[in-house]
Structure 1
Amino acid sequence: QVISERLKRYDTNWEDTFFITLARNFGFGLNGDAFESWANLLSFRSIDKHRDSLKQVEAIFFGQAGLLDEELPDEYYQHLQKEYHYLQHKFELRQADVSLWRFSRLRPNNFPHIRIAQLALLYHQKRALFSRIMEAETAKDAKAVLSIGTSEYWKGHYIFNKTSPSRTKSLGDATLDLILINTVIPFLYAYGLHKVDERLCERASVFLETLKAENNHIIRLWTGAGLPVYTAADSQALLQLQKEYCDKKKCLFCRFGFEFMRKP
Structure 2
Amino acid sequence: MKEDFLHYLWQFKKFDISKLQTTKGESIQILNSGQYLQLAGPDFFNAQLIIGNQKWAGNVEIHLKSSDWYLHNHEKDPNYDSVILHVVWENDVPIFRKDNSELPTLELKEHISFSDLQNYQSLMAQKSWIYCENEIKNVDGFVFQNWKERLFLERLERKSELIFELVEDFNQDWEAILFCLLAKNFGLNTNGEIFFKIAKSIPFSIIRKESFSLESLEALFLGQANLLSSDFQDTYAKELQKQYLYLLQKYQLKDMITECVSFYKHRPDNFPTIRLAQLANVYFHQKNLFSQLISCNSMKQFYQIFNIGVSQYWETHYNFDKKSSKKVKKLSMSFIDLLVVNTIIPLRFAYALSQKKDIIEELIDIVSLIPSEKNAIIEKFASFGVISKNAFESQSLLQLKKEYCDFKKCLDCSVGINILRK
- The reply to whether TM is greater than 0.5 is yes
What residue identity is the alignment partner of 1:126? Q
Offset at residue 2 of structure 1 (A): 1.8
2:422 is the counterpart of 1:256: no
Structure (1 or 2) with the greater helix fraction:
1
CA 1:262/1:217 → structure 2, altered by over 3 Å: closer, same or farther? farther
CA 1:256/1:203 → structure 2, altered by over 3 Å: closer, same or farther? closer
What residue identity is the alignment partner of 1:100? C
SS in 2 for 1:69: coil
The correspondence of residues 219-230 of structure 1 with structure 2, limited to 5 A, is 219-230=378-389
Q: Take 1:218 and 1:255, find their aligned partners in 2: how far apart are those partners? A: 19
Q: Take 1:95 and 1:125, find their aligned partners in 2: how far apart are those partners? A: 27
Structure (1 or 2) with the greater strand fraction:
2
- CA contact under 8 A between 1:108 and 1:158: conserved in structure 2? yes
Offset at residue 86 of structure 1 (A): 1.0
What residue identity is the alignment partner of 2:403? E
Determine the structure 1 residue equivalent to 2:371.
212
Offset at residue 257 of structure 1 (A): 4.3
Q: Take 1:207 and 1:81, find their aligned partners in 2: how far apart are those partners? A: 42
CA 1:259/1:221 → structure 2, altered by over 3 Å: closer, same or farther? farther
2:352 is the counterpart of 1:192: yes
2:282 is the counterpart of 1:128: no
Q: Take 2:351 and 2:391, find their aligned partners in 1: how far apart are those partners? A: 20
Q: Deviations over 1:127-172 (max 9, x none)?
A: 1101010111212212211221110110000011100100110111
2:186 is the counterpart of 1:19: no
Normalised to the residue count of structure 1, the TM-score between the two structures is 0.93
Determine the structure 2 residue equivalent to 1:63.
223
- CA contact under 8 A between 2:298 and 2:366: conserved in structure 1? yes
- The higher radius of gyration belongs to 2
2:214 is the counterpart of 1:41: no
What residue identity is the alignment partner of 1:22? L
What residue identity is the alignment partner of 1:253? D
Aligned length: 262
Determine the structure 1 residue equivalent to 2:144.
none
- CA contact under 8 A between 2:297 and 2:366: conserved in structure 1? no
- CA contact under 8 A between 2:174 and 2:290: conserved in structure 1? yes
SS in 2 for 1:31: helix
- CA contact under 8 A between 2:197 and 2:257: conserved in structure 1? no
- CA contact under 8 A between 2:309 and 2:329: conserved in structure 1? yes
Offset at residue 256 of structure 1 (A): 3.3
What residue identity is the alignment partner of 2:253? L
* Runs (4+) off by over 6 Å: 259-263
Determine the structure 2 residue equivalent to 1:232.
391
CA 1:137/1:253 → structure 2, altered by over 3 Å: closer, same or farther? closer
Determine the structure 2 residue equivalent to 1:3.
163
Normalised to the residue count of structure 2, the TM-score between the two structures is 0.59
What residue identity is the alignment partner of 2:276? I
What residue identity is the alignment partner of 2:230? E
SS in 1 for 2:188: coil
Q: Take 1:250 and 1:182, find their aligned partners in 2: how far apart are those partners? A: 25
Determine the structure 2 residue equivalent to 1:245.
404
- CA contact under 8 A between 1:15 and 1:128: conserved in structure 2? yes
Q: Take 2:420 and 2:198, find their aligned partners in 1: how far apart are those partners? A: 46
Determine the structure 2 residue equivalent to 1:96.
256
RMSD over aligned Cα atoms: 1.8
Q: Take 1:110 and 1:91, find their aligned partners in 2: how far apart are those partners? A: 30
Question: Could you tell me which of 138, 158, 177 is aligned with 2:298?
Answer: 138
Determine the structure 2 residue equivalent to 1:169.
329
What residue identity is the alignment partner of 2:370? L
Question: Could you tell me which of 225, 230, 239 is aligned with 1:79?
Answer: 239
SS in 2 for 1:158: strand
Offset at residue 196 of structure 1 (A): 3.2
Q: Take 2:293 and 2:172, find their aligned partners in 1: how far apart are those partners? A: 17
What residue identity is the alignment partner of 1:251? C
Q: Take 2:336 and 2:383, find their aligned partners in 1: how far apart are those partners? A: 26
CA 1:90/1:35 → structure 2, altered by over 3 Å: closer, same or farther? same
What residue identity is the alignment partner of 1:211? I
Offset at residue 50 of structure 1 (A): 2.3
Structure 1: runs of 5+ lacking an equivalent: none
What residue identity is the alignment partner of 1:234? E
2:210 is the counterpart of 1:50: yes
CA 1:157/1:98 → structure 2, altered by over 3 Å: closer, same or farther? farther
Q: Deviations over 1:177-210 (max 9, x none)?
A: 1111001111122222222344x54331211111
Offset at residue 60 of structure 1 (A): 1.2
- Identity, in percent, stands at 39
Q: Deviations over 1:91-113 (max 9, x none)?
A: 11124335431111111100000
Q: Take 1:217 and 1:96, find their aligned partners in 2: how far apart are those partners? A: 36
- CA contact under 8 A between 1:118 and 1:148: conserved in structure 2? yes
